[in-house]
Amino acid sequence: MEYRTHGKILKGVGGLYTIKLDSLDAHKQNFDTPSPLASTLISCSASGSFRHNHIKPLVGDSVEVIYTDHSLEVMDTKNNDIRISAILDRRNELIRPPMANLDVMFISMAAASPAPVLPTIDKLICIAEHNDIEPVIIIGKCDLAPEYAKELQGIYQKAGYDAFVLSAKTGEGTDAIRDYVNTRLGGKTSAFAGASGIGKSTLLNALFPNLSLTTNTISIKIQRGRHTTRHVELYPINDADNCGYIADTPGFSLLDFERFNFFDKEDLAYNMREFRDYIGECRYTKCTHTKEEGCAILEAVKDGKISKSRHDSFLEIYASLKNKHKWDYK
Ligand code: GDP
Ligand code: ZN
């Protein structure tokens, strides 16, 4: 008998894929047929047809998998006849590191040492918004600058984001983010993004001591120098059937996003979440929201409804988009 089900690619090295198959509950939503391997981790190679179509399965992809009674008997990777028969629609696709369907990006900064560069943080948030990835803000090292950490949290909560303040050193605030990760990420794929030195490795190791993520900064640097591509692997956050996944990457940097699906300056305001309510309310239909009289967004900044720092970032990103031709991003 032939079985057909869906699963998520957790790892892909040299054409060999590790796939977590849907639980029986999830399977039943798409198929009426049995799935004896439901909820298990299987290994298989991609079928040749993908190579002809120039589509390569990516880590994070949801795929359709076909297997047979024979596959159940021969579970070793080389001889089984499990195969990926289709790649389901992608929500988004990242080039470097190569992965698909990122749902949540933990955009991380330190309250101090190094102090955050807010336009860079806001640019990352915009890129996440543009690619349908939910940004979650992490403000670390709050032991070093508690007041500023709170101020930053206020800015991002006001903008409409979940924002966590924590110190991996004192442990303050780490329970809240651990709770979020365990309860809010069901089935979703997440990754950490942020500059180096802000404490990502320290935090990840504190949050997920059992994952042994390869976040050691030095080894990553060596690895980067030697390989042109970085492999991403998705790790289940806990043992639950519908748990969230975290991408084992050294964290995304802005550089990783320069070739990502970008946007034009006209779209920028839409990618600033708290600006959206005011778009269309300005006196001029072609308002750039930078300096015009009767601009609803500038009014909201003046009234304290939009944080000044967010609008300052808007101006800086707007100016950089104005100077950049679209083809520069290709
Ligand atoms: P990464 O490059 O973002 O992965 O940062 P690391 O985790 O390697 O941390 C960089 C430095 O910051 C190390 O010296 C850590 O000990 C320190 N650090 C990490 N978290 C904290 C924190 O919460 N408070 C303080 N004061 N230092 C921290
Ligand atoms: Zn305006």
Q: Which of 109, 141, 202, 248 to mutate to test the pocket of ligand 1 (most atoms within 8 A of CB)?
A: 202
- Tracing tokens 């079928």 back to the chain, one arrives at 47
**Nearest residue to 231 (alpha-carbon basis) of 249, 214, 246, 218:** 249
Q: Is 155 helix (H, G, I), strand (E, B) or coil?
A: helix
**Residue 92 CA, ligand 2 centroid: distance in Å:** 30
Predicted confidence pLDDT, tens digits, the chain (330 residues)? 999 999 999 998 888 899 999 999 999 999 999 999 999 999 987 765 565 566 889 999 999 999 998 887 876 656 678 889 889 999 998 877 788 999 999 999 999 999 999 999 999 999 899 989 999 999 999 999 999 999 999 999 999 999 999 999 999 999 999 999 999 999 899 998 888 889 988 898 888 877 755 544 333 344 444 444 467 889 998 888 888 999 876 556 655 665 555 788 889 999 999 999 999 999 999 999 999 999 999 999 999 999 999 999 999 999 988 877 655 544
DSSP 280: T
Output the pLDDT for position 215: 45
Output the pLDDT for position 50: 60
Whether 6 lines ligand 1, by a CB cut-off of 6 Å, is no
Output the pLDDT for position 258: 58
DSSP for 296-309, written as a single string: HHHHHHHTTSS-HH
Ligand that comes closest to the CA of residue 285: 2
Q: Is the dihedral of CA 67, 70, 72, 74 positive or negative?
A: negative
Output the pLDDT for position 79: 62
**Residue 109 CA, ligand 1 centroid: distance in Å:** 11
Residues 6+ away with beta carbon under 8 Å from 168 = 140, 141, 174, 199, 202, 203, 206
Output the pLDDT for position 119: 93
Structure tokens that stand for 81 in this block: 């006849």
Structure tokens that stand for 239 in this block: 């043992």
**Residue 278 CA, ligand 2 centroid: distance in Å:** 8
Q: Is 187 helix (H, G, I), strand (E, B) or coil?
A: coil
Ligand that comes closest to the CA of residue 297: 2
**Residue 120 CA, ligand 2 centroid: distance in Å:** 22
Output the pLDDT for position 264: 85
Whether 168 lines ligand 1, by a CB cut-off of 6 Å, is yes
Output the pLDDT for position 74: 73
Whether 167 lines ligand 1, by a CB cut-off of 6 Å, is yes
The number of the ligand 1 atom at minimal distance from the alpha carbon of 108 is: 3
